[in-house]
Chain A
């Protein structure tokens, strides 16, 4: 079974500084990976996805992630944090199971942005 590990449960940055949210995956084949974001009292929203095309993936709101097979990583980055980026971020892998593909979520990283 595929899985993801988010290395930090909480990350705190100052507004205008870079954001790095770390995710490692475990997969026996080339995985499909995603980042979802959950703002307070809002539904989860797809931020970006990697599906074996370009290894550097751009998402919404200036976020991007790089798939590194040698490091089994899919870290999420943003050059400059904005207050509105404060949310919980989930790294997700698509797992091929007995009943077809399903999404497996990491435990989440809460991003705090200080003014």
Chain B
């Protein structure tokens, strides 16, 4: 079974530029998550999709971040314009069902963003 695919793995941009990250979840997984992991911290949930609908985007900085999951499969996370504090690893995860007590998410290897 193929895992969660993310691209690009690394991206370096100047502040105020834009960047987009792509994620393809495990086939058949209804729920998709984007997490931000800043160096020295644990992952923080940015947005959760159930199929192609947004379940939770309460921690997404909507003035600069946007995400979509067209057709309920792959997803794109965009940052425009980027700030220095956006330097982080962006993790995509998926699960067959919505997170309940099972807690099992399958993570991709992440996209590391450096903003100069």
The answer to whether B43 and A105 have CB atoms under 8 Å apart is yes
The answer to whether B106 has its CB under 8 Å from any CB of chain A is yes
The answer to whether B42 and A108 have CB atoms under 8 Å apart is yes
Distance of A51 Cα from B103 Cα, bound (Å):
9
The answer to whether A105 and B99 have CB atoms under 8 Å apart is no
- Greatest chain B CB density within 10 A among A45, A90, A103 is at A103
Residue of A9, A44, A101 near B107 (CB, 8 A) is: A44
Residue of B48, B100, B103, B110 near A34 (CB, 8 A) is: B103
Distance of A46 Cα from B93 Cα, bound (Å):
12
Chain B: minimal CB distance from A77 (Å): 20
Which B58-116 residues sit within 8 Å CB-CB of chain A?
58, 91, 93, 98-110
Residue of B42, B55, B101 near A107 (CB, 8 A) is: B42
Known A103-B45, A106-B42; judge A43-B101 contact (CB<8 A): no
Distance of A108 Cα from B99 Cα, bound (Å):
21
Chain B residues closer than 8 Å to A92, beta-carbon distance = 42, 103
Main SS of chain B's interface residues?
A: loop
Chain B: minimal CB distance from A88 (Å): 9
The answer to whether A99 and B101 have CB atoms under 8 Å apart is no
How many chain A residues touch the partner (CB < 8 A)? 26
- The residue of chain B having its C-beta at the shortest distance from the C-beta of A34 within the complex is B103
Which A65-90 residues sit within 8 Å CB-CB of chain B?
90
Residue of B3, B101, B108, B109 near A32 (CB, 8 A) is: B101
Known A97-B56, A98-B58, A99-B58; judge A44-B43 contact (CB<8 A): yes
Distance of A98 Cα from B56 Cα, bound (Å):
9
Distance of A43 Cα from B104 Cα, bound (Å):
13
Chain B residues closer than 8 Å to A41, beta-carbon distance = 109
The answer to whether B32 has its CB under 8 Å from any CB of chain A is no
The answer to whether B55 and A99 have CB atoms under 8 Å apart is yes
Residues of A in contact with B (beta carbons under 8 Å apart): 9, 32, 34, 41-46, 49, 51-52, 90, 92, 94, 97-103, 105-108
Residues of B in contact with A (beta carbons under 8 Å apart): 3-4, 40-45, 48, 55-56, 58, 91, 93, 98-110
Interface contacts beyond A44-B91, A51-B101: sample of 19 additional A-B pairs, CB < 8 Å, sorted by A: A32-B101, A41-B109, A43-B106, A43-B109, A44-B43, A44-B93, A45-B107, A46-B105, A49-B103, A49-B104, A94-B99, A94-B103, A99-B55, A99-B56, A100-B55, A100-B98, A101-B98, A103-B99, A105-B43
